[in-house]
Amino acid sequence: MRRRGGGFGGVGNCCSSSSGCRQFGKMERVMKLCITWLVVMGSVYGGVGKSSRDPVPATWPDQFHSLLYINNSESLQVTDLWYDWPNGRNFNIIQKQLGRKLYDLEWNNGTSFYYYLDKEECRKMHFEVGILRPDWLRDARYVGVESVDGFLCNVWEKANFIHYYEDVLTNRPLHWIFFTGMSVHVMTFE
């Protein structure tokens, strides 16, 4: 008999054949996923519809850095995002596929500056709202649980504008889908 480590709850640490071990390994992963699903579903669902047991989206930290992969169906981009609520700013470095690197500095007063480092070019814009509050999802409607990018997520919808996906286990943002169809995948959140 060959010893195999990492069994589920102490079960299945020994297998009599390598094919038996591979099959047990698959079954073990499925069992872990099923148990995780049951635990999550038991804690998330107490009934149908909105209830006091619906999860609440996590408030964003006052400052964080995130790497985002964005698909707008017409273009792809990678965005480095620095969120800084105490200082009232949001900074994005946007690399479009095979394009120039765009820098976007947004202020809480609604003023944004878009510029390129390789040319003396800067565009100032003003929006009616500034950067998002850390609790911007406070009044979002809970939709349910979905699996996205291999993660089990709680999902909220905000003002028919965005669907926000948050990892059930870590409460970190994982994915956003805007009403336009633009899809944002959160690669890092630190």
pLDDT tens across 89-99, in order? 999 999 999 99
Give, in degrees to the nearest 5, the angle at Cα 57 between 52 and 60: 145
Higher pLDDT, 36 or 151: 151
What pLDDT was estimated at residue 32?
A: 41
pLDDT score, position 50: 52
Q: Where are the domains of the chain?
A: 2-44, 63-126, 141-189
Stretch 136-143: mean pLDDT: 97
Dist CA 93 CA 79 (whole Å): 6
Checking if the pLDDT of 100 tops 90, the result is: yes
Residue in 40, 13, 49 with CA at minimum distance from that of residue 28: 13
Specify whether the backbone of 9 is left (phi greater than 0), alpha (psi in -120 to 50) or beta.
left
* The token pair that represents 70 in the structure block: 């964005």
> How would residue 133 be classed by pLDDT, with cut points 50, 70 and 90?
very high
Report the range of poorest mean pLDDT among 16-20, 51-55, 91-95.
16-20
Q: Which tops the pLDDT comparison, 125 or 52?
A: 125
For residues 15-36, give the mean pLDDT.
41
pLDDT of residue 120: 87
Given a contact cutoff of 8 angstroms between Cβ atoms, the answer to whether 79 and 106 are in contact is no
